[in-house]
Amino acid sequence: MIQFELFQQKRKRLESKFSNVESFSLFTFSEKESIEETLTKFSTLTNEKISKKIQSIISNGNNNIYHFTLSNDKIVFIYKVGERKKLHSDTFRRAATNLIREINKLKIGNTLILPVELSDEEINCYFKTHEYYLQTYLEGFKLGDYKYDEYLSKNEKTQVVTMVYYPEVSDEKLLDVFNFTEVLMKYVYFARDLQNKPSNELTPKRFTEIVKGQASKNKSVKVKILDFNEIKRLKMGGLTAVGKGSDNPPYFLILEYNGNPKSKDINVLIGKGITFDSGGISLKPASGMWEMKGDMSGAAAVVSTLLAASELKLKTNLVALAPLAENMPSGKSMKPGDIIRTASGKSIEIDNTDAEGRLILADAIEYAKRYNPKIVVDLATLTGACVVALGQYAAGLFTRSDELAEMLTKAGNVTSERVWRLPLWDDYHALIKSNFADVKNVGGRWAGAITAACFLEKFVDESYKWAHLDIAGPAFQEDNIPYMSKTMTGYGVRLLIEFLKNSF
Ligand SMILES: [Zn+2]
């Protein structure tokens, strides 16, 4: 566990405050001058000299962590983050993740962070503000400290207190950054926990219970849960068709947060909530199927975002919709060739039962209309095709609105939960034509991510701005970004909070 604590010392000499600092985390660029500047700054501040003898170098790709012990047993880490010209918005988030893992290994109880000094241009370009720059370190520590150990009999809890020495930001503002990051990361953890929970434990019903339990701690969030009877009564044919094949019935979860009562503008977030996707009758191959417990990542992201927004008291009116179902093969499952009708009244020919996410989203998009929304954004682990196109480094973004595309792209760049726009041209709609129904649920071999987006667009109204994010890549664990390794990622929460912060 990480706890942020104020280091109340803005004077030029820190020595008198050292007694309770166990370690120092220095960050620096890999150029020789930068390293020397950092060491000089450290010596001036602390009146300590770092011996020439390096205890160990922890190598991490292009980055190196140098590890020293001072004569008074305090530990110093010097983290070389690479060349200055290669700086980007995620540099320190990633570095902090690697460092906290070393700190945990060495069982160090607290550390004082000395961030790299950046120019105003660098701050502006990559972080916008000094506060956000600091936030990236704190996020990195939290992201790197995350463990999914709910089912381990022996789960070791370590506690690290982190303090920051950064006189450019006042204590008051630093406390704001601490508080903001604390809440934000609490809900990134909440999303990750939901994603990582196995599907035998996280059925659609259990998902609603967990979210309701969390929401009940915050009076400004309203929760509505529609059960299978209600879903059928509302003629949600997509959610019914997918959910009826499983012994665990589908649910439809609605969260509302009215953070700006003076405004009539409502933003609706929709998340795909397939708690397990076997593919249904169009069964998936066995290899890697376990990851499909995370096919509810969109739902986890949108409910976590709404809960975070309410706790952060963001001035926005938000609705989160999560259609929840398990896609299983059984005697009651939908079959290829079936024709169903969604709440919109439009008919769909099922060509492949593994393209189920779009069916439940179609019903949610229809439900969103009753809020007369200004913006609708849906997040879904929708297609493998999107991962083929972009890898795990970005979500596919689909929208007709250049303004919405720009806002989401900017939020993606600063949070490093990146999005990349793909086309949504009318031509692609020809690929999902059906001979027997209004639309078919899959296209042919090509452009699978785009035809999935075109399918959703069939159910969208022109009265609001709509964007679809295919998060099948970045939602799942990967090895290339340190804080995304070993567990599901919670992708979307930091992105959407940043997006919402800038959209009112
Ligand atoms: Zn599927």
Kindly state the tokens that stand for 452: 């999935």
Q: What's the CATH code, domain 2-166?
A: 3.40.220.10
Going from N- to C-terminal start, the domains of the chain cover 2-166, 190-502
pLDDT tens digit at each of 504 positions of the chain: 899 988 876 665 666 667 678 999 999 999 888 988 998 888 888 888 877 666 677 666 556 888 888 888 889 999 999 999 999 999 999 999 999 999 999 999 999 999 999 999 999 999 999 999 999 999 999 999 999 998 998 877 789 999 999 989 999 999 999 999 999 999 999 999 999 999 999 999 999 999 999 999 999 999 999 999 999 999 999 999 999 999 999 999 999 999 999 999 999 999 999 999 999 999 999 999 999 999 999 999 999 999 999 999 999 999 999 999 999 999 999 999 999 999 999 999 999 999 999 999 999 999 999 999 999 999 999 999 999 999 999 999 999 999 999 999 999 999 999 999 999 999 999 999 999 999 999 998 999 999 999 999 999 999 999 999 999 999 998 778 888 888 899 999 999 999 999 875
444 C-alpha vs ligand 1 centroid, how far in Å?
A: 16
Task: Say how many Å lie between the CA of residue 295 and the centre of ligand 1.
Answer: 8
Question: Do the two domains 2-166 and 190-502 of this chain adopt the same fold?
Answer: no
Catalytic residue, candidates 74, 232, 284, 346: 284
Give the Cα separation of 401 and 413 in Å (integer): 18
The answer to whether 456 and 470 have CB atoms below 8 angstroms apart is no
Residue 8 φ/ψ region, left for φ over 0, alpha for ψ in the -120 to 50 degree band, beta for the rest: beta
Which pairing describes strands 395-399 and 465-470: parallel, antiparallel, or unpaired? antiparallel
Closest CA to 67 of 57, 82, 81: 57
Does domain 190-502 fall into CATH 3.40.630.10? yes
Q: Where are the alpha helices (DSSP H) in 312-428?
A: 357-368, 384-390, 402-415
Catalytic annotation, pick one of 94, 244, 358, 418: 358
Structure-block tokens of residue 483: 């804080």
Separation of CA 292 and ligand 1 centre (Å)? 8
How far is ligand 1, taken at its centre, from the CA of residue 279, in Å?
Answer: 5
What is the whole-number distance in angstroms between the Cα of residue 431 and the centre of ligand 1? 19
The secondary structure of 158-204 as a DSSP string is: --EEEEE--TTS-HHHHHHHHHHHHHHHHHHHHHHHHHHS-TTT--H
Report how far ligand 1's centroid is from the alpha carbon of 372 (Å): 30
Task: Give catalytic status of residue 358 as yes or no.
Answer: yes
Residue 284 a catalytic site member: yes
Q: Which of 1, 132, 93, 23 is nearest to 501 (CA)?
A: 132
Distance from the alpha carbon of residue 108 to the mean position of ligand 1, in angstroms: 44
In 81-159, where do the E strands start and end? 110-114
